[in-house]
Amino acid sequence: MTTLLLTHPAALDHETPTGHPECADRIKAVEAALEDERFAMLAREAAPVADIEAVALAHHRGYVEALLEASPESGLVQIDSDTILSPGTMEAALRGAGAATLAVDEVMTGKVRNAFSAMRPPGHHAEHRVAMGFCFFNHAAIAARWARHHHGAERVAIMDWDVHHGNGTQDIFWDDPDVLYISTHEMPLFPGTGDPNERGAHDNILNIALSPGDGSDTFREVMTTAVVPRITDFAPDLLIISAGFDAHWRDPLGSVNLTEADFAYATRALMRVAERSCAGRVVSLLEGGYDLVGLAKSVAAHVETLMDPA
């Protein structure tokens, strides 16, 4: 078995205004990094378009339909000051959701060991009925529900190491005892959620706040002492990673000082948990990461670790 990479040119067609941090160059940087000979053994597939029923596993159907109807034929439509609809946005977002569900299919059926989706726009800020923070459809939430509904997974764990709290994922699973959501994120920082006291209706949410300036030692300690034990106790049937790389020291949108080696460390730690609890089944989905050099290096370290079964 190997690692599956899911991409599609549609990810480049989601347009944002000049200077917007969530831009097509992010995907170009990731794709260039993954063309290195180290990644020759990756399985590669095109991200399919998800149907509305798949997206509606995590979002109100009326919300999904309203976004599709608001999609412009030309120009840009602002959902809020940061979240922009362009003519190519909905296809990109639907293919991001499709990449998430196909990744789950391939991993849950044992066709690949694990999978990484390099699609944009990101998803973890998208709530059940709200688009925000560059996000429209919550791909991690869709993947978790898809695993539950289509593959009989009883419990799914989501680890989110993006520098911003995944308010959308927390919103969607607040009342769901069968999904564990864990987030390490900088506080104070957008979107202002993620206090450690926010624990979910069934104590199924673990928020770990990092302070500006925190670096490798703190992050690795919380991975070892908090994240790994909590996932181990939960014993999921699938582990999903909301893989944002904006906690990298180079990133302009955060003040946490991680390196690409830290993301490799976290990836390895999560793979070991997955080996013990769910036959190594890991699905990783790109979230943030806005410095192109830091993003490319971090994705390369992450995917190279996913490819190594040791």
Positions annotated as catalytic residues are: 125
Rounded distance between C-alpha atoms, residue 177 and residue 120, angstroms: 29
Q: Is 140 helix (H, G, I), strand (E, B) or coil?
A: helix
Are 264 and 210 within 8 A, CB to CB?
Answer: no
Rounded distance between C-alpha atoms, residue 188 and residue 202, angstroms: 25
Q: What are the Cα distances from residue 128, in Å, to 148, 173, 177, 274?
A: 17, 9, 17, 28
The percent of the chain in helix, strand and coil, each rounded to the nearest 5, is 40, 15, 45
Helix residue spans in 109-163 (DSSP H): 139-151
Rounded distance between C-alpha atoms, residue 170 and residue 199, angstroms: 9
Rounded to 5°, angle at Cα 227 from 224 and 228 = 60
Q: What are the Cα distances from residue 220, in Å, to 164, 166, 184, 259, 299?
A: 18, 20, 11, 11, 18
Are 209 and 130 within 8 A, CB to CB?
Answer: no
